Amino acid sequence: MFAVPALDVQAALKTLVLTLDLLGTFVFALSGAVAGVRRRLDLFGILVLSFVAANSGGIVRDLLIGATPPAAIRDWRYLAVSLLAGALMFFRYPLIKRLRSPVLLFDAAGLALFCVAGAQKALVFGLEPVMAALLGMLTGIGGGVARDVLLSEIPAVLRADVYAVAALAGASVVVAGDALHLPSTACAVAGAILCFGLRMAAVRWDWHLPVARASAQAAADVEAAERRGRD
């Protein structure tokens, strides 16, 4: 048996992180662009929203782990992928519109890719397992939060959906696999599938995290007031 040089392992991990990052960038950029088209933004607005949605989580991650300047503004490929996705959505939206709930689909895919990429990069930079999993979650939810804030919507992560929990679950698979010395690519794929599956299942079957009783009552009061206003 021949030992694999540590340098080769590090290079392979960096390649894996870059691949996942660029895939997640493209998919999240699509989700931002779809949301922008639905809000009737112009081409410039859609491209800006694509870049913000695709790169906010990664920028925050890189700043927190000291990978400066962040990859999204150091490597031209992140900008190119974001703009390509935005332009594709602007000129070919009728084709994408045929998909059922394209924003949710692209958002779930981007969440899955970014949570595992964030955890992998955190591990490469030597973070402890728990913090690496949390940073993976933060990387996954950052783009969606920035997109929703720019569109004056309540971010999905704050609406009691299984959103951040799905990202944390996917990142935890990567961290656990690293602790058990399992193949990085297989763990990344498994984590992404778990995150995507949880998120889409939550959308399909309306899974929600528990809310405080007072919050539930307040929501019921608001709905009742709205009904009285309509009547």
Report pLDDT for 136. Answer: 94
Report pLDDT for 87. Answer: 93
Report pLDDT for 133. Answer: 95
- The Cα 42–Cα 49 span in angstroms is 11
- The Cα 72–Cα 63 span in angstroms is 11
Report pLDDT for 223. Answer: 55
Report pLDDT for 3. Answer: 46
Report pLDDT for 168. Answer: 95
Say which residue the tokens 């929501």 belong to. 219
Domain ranges of the chain: 6-230
Report pLDDT for 1. Answer: 41
Q: How far is CA 31 from CA 69, 153, 203, 224, 231, in A?
A: 25, 14, 16, 33, 36
- The Cα 129–Cα 152 span in angstroms is 35
Give yes or no for a contact between 148 and 154, defined as CB atoms under 8 angstroms apart. yes
Regions of the chain short of the pLDDT cut 70: 1-9, 13, 96-100, 160-161, 211-231
